[in-house]
Amino acid sequence: MRVLLIQPPYDLYDDDERQGIPPLGLAYIAGVLERDGHEVRIINSVAEDFQRLVAQADGRRRHGLSDEDLVKAIGDFRPRIVGVSCLFSSQVQAANHFCRLAKQADPAILTVMGGAHPSAVPQEVLEEDAVDVAAIGEGELTMLELVRSLEQGRFPPGEPNGMAYRVDGAICIRSPHLLTNLDWLPLPARHLLPMQRYLKYRSPHGGVVRRHPCTNMITSRGCPAHCVFCSIHTVWGRKFRCHSAERVIEEIELLTGHYGVKEIQFEDDNITLNKQRMIDICRAIVERRIDLTWTGPNGLAIWALDEKLLEWMRRSGCYHLTIAVESGSQDVLKKIIRKPIDLDRVDPIVKAARRLGMGVSAFFVVGFPGETKQDIAKTFDFAMNMGADSVHFFTATPYPGTELFGQCVNKGLIATPVDYAKLRVGLPIIDTPAWTAAELSEMTQAAQARFYRRTAIHSPVRCFSTVARKLVRNPRATIQRARDALFPSFRTGLARPRRSAS
């Protein structure tokens, strides 16, 4: 059976960076289907036409392949199933559009939408007539069962876990599939991806890249934490599962040997949660003398780090540590965010990383219901004084499937129905009795500018190298942020009037 997997074009705003990274979720699904004897093609619309940016009615710019080219690709391949990825709720418009295009190309095609958004709100996804199935949770077994059932002329499958679908006008929603043994998965089918294009574009996830060619990997799934703002559990669940160290090294050696990769960005949410496994991976990289540098741009968990592990990470090529601190208030962490972080551990980890010659970045999230202006100010002060090379202040965003979303809807803190296009970490949309979204935007923008000015004064070389790197990746946004930092009187804030909101 022919299966076409599509990463749709990405809708960007003025300050968004263009990113071209391999869609590993689709590559894992493709690997499983190929192993079962099916013919699979992956289209990553961004990689296929990286320079194409087309203005949309809402002010965004659609980045990637044109409608005409996609319809032609569908006609040439003639798939029975088209799977469309929708990782973020803000991108559901593009995902729906491309499901409609698939149906226009061939009404007999079965369309499947997967990713975090359909996993969180499958019933809403199926309100779009062009979507036949919403994949819930991990997609590999779901797609495999679906393909096998269609081969036998059955739909829905006999045991249709991991999906939502319509039967006689009603929507049936089944529990997700979660793999217990990740080593059952074949290596991601990177041979179906235009790997040389990704390596050429040099636009990976995150702003810290030392060496090219650079690409991404995922070695584990699942997070046991219960942070109110995180939706990843809708896809990967809360139980931590991981590839064995041997399987991770096998993939690393493929990337370095076959593709010439010199740097890897591990996209795991909790790559260090099993410390011994991480040490085993690092030791193997050292003992096999693999020429590699690496980072974890998604942010590492403070509670899953110690000095011994940091030493092994540094020896194996990790040169920059990104930590997800989230708040400078212990009360906010414990009572509002519910993230298992002891702030007293942050300073020793940062100092240990510094002693080992590693750079440090930190993530913070402000603007939760129940958080006061004093709490937010405490976070800003903590960030200024922790000794990081860079800090990023994000605003709490109520993604579907999160506890934060439920809080905001139930308390009337956000307008309903929710405009998913506005769900992005750079644009506050929550109003509380303590502060408005506009005030939060101004506070966050001012704090980010304050950090840039502080870094420029105390670490001019570091500041220059950071700005130069960002200038290459996104000139327009970098110039705007530099202006706002150096000339705060001109700052218009994130809540400034715009052609659109995201």
Q: Domain containing 302 — which CATH number?
A: 3.80.30.20
User: Does 471 map to a domain?
Assistant: no
Same domain membership, residue 247 and residue 119: no
User: Does 492 map to a domain?
Assistant: no
User: Does 417 map to a domain?
Assistant: no
pLDDT value of position 50: 87
pLDDT value of position 482: 59
Same domain membership, residue 234 and residue 119: no
Same domain membership, residue 203 and residue 109: no
CA distance 303 to 286: 25
Same domain membership, residue 255 and residue 168: no
User: Does 157 map to a domain?
Assistant: yes
Same domain membership, residue 65 and residue 149: yes
All residues at 6 or more sequence positions from 171 whose CB lies less than 8 Å from its CB, including other chains: 122, 123, 126, 164, 165
**Full DSSP string of 365-419:** EE--TT--HHHHHHHHHHHHHS--SEEEEEE----TTSHHHHHHHHTT-S-SS--
Same domain membership, residue 198 and residue 169: no
Full pLDDT tens readout for the chain, 502 residues: 999 999 999 888 766 777 788 999 999 999 999 999 999 999 999 989 888 888 888 888 888 899 999 999 999 999 999 999 999 998 999 999 999 999 999 999 999 999 999 999 999 999 999 999 999 999 999 999 999 999 988 887 776 789 999 988 899 999 898 999 999 999 999 999 999 998 888 777 776 889 999 999 999 999 999 999 999 999 999 999 999 999 999 999 999 999 999 999 999 999 999 999 999 999 999 999 999 999 999 989 899 999 999 999 999 999 999 999 999 999 999 999 999 999 999 999 999 999 999 999 999 999 999 999 999 999 999 999 999 999 999 999 999 999 999 999 999 999 888 899 889 888 899 999 999 999 999 999 999 999 989 888 876 766 666 666 566 555 665 666 556 555 555 444 433 333 332 2
CB 45 within 8 A of CB 20: no
Same domain membership, residue 267 and residue 159: no
Q: Provide the 8-state DSSP code for 238.
A: S
The b/e string for 2-22 (b: 16+ C-beta within 10 A; e otherwise) is: ebbbbbbbbbbbebbebbbbb
**Left, alpha or beta for 370 (phi > 0: left; psi -120 to 50: alpha)?**
left
pLDDT value of position 491: 47
Q: What angle do CA 163, 164, 165 make, to 5 degrees?
A: 120
Same domain membership, residue 122 and residue 65: yes
Tokens encoding 189:
């089918």
Domain count for the chain, please give it: 2
All residues at 6 or more sequence positions from 439 whose CB lies less than 8 Å from its CB, including other chains: none
Tell me the residue length of the chain: 502
CA distance 198 to 212: 11
Same domain membership, residue 247 and residue 134: no
Q: Tell me the residue range of the domain where 243 lies.
A: 194-397+438-455
Tokens encoding 134:
């919403």
Q: What global pTM score does this model have?
A: 0.91
User: Does 110 map to a domain?
Assistant: yes
Same domain membership, residue 211 and residue 103: no
User: Does 148 map to a domain?
Assistant: yes
User: Does 501 map to a domain?
Assistant: no
Same domain membership, residue 443 and residue 368: yes
Same domain membership, residue 251 and residue 143: no
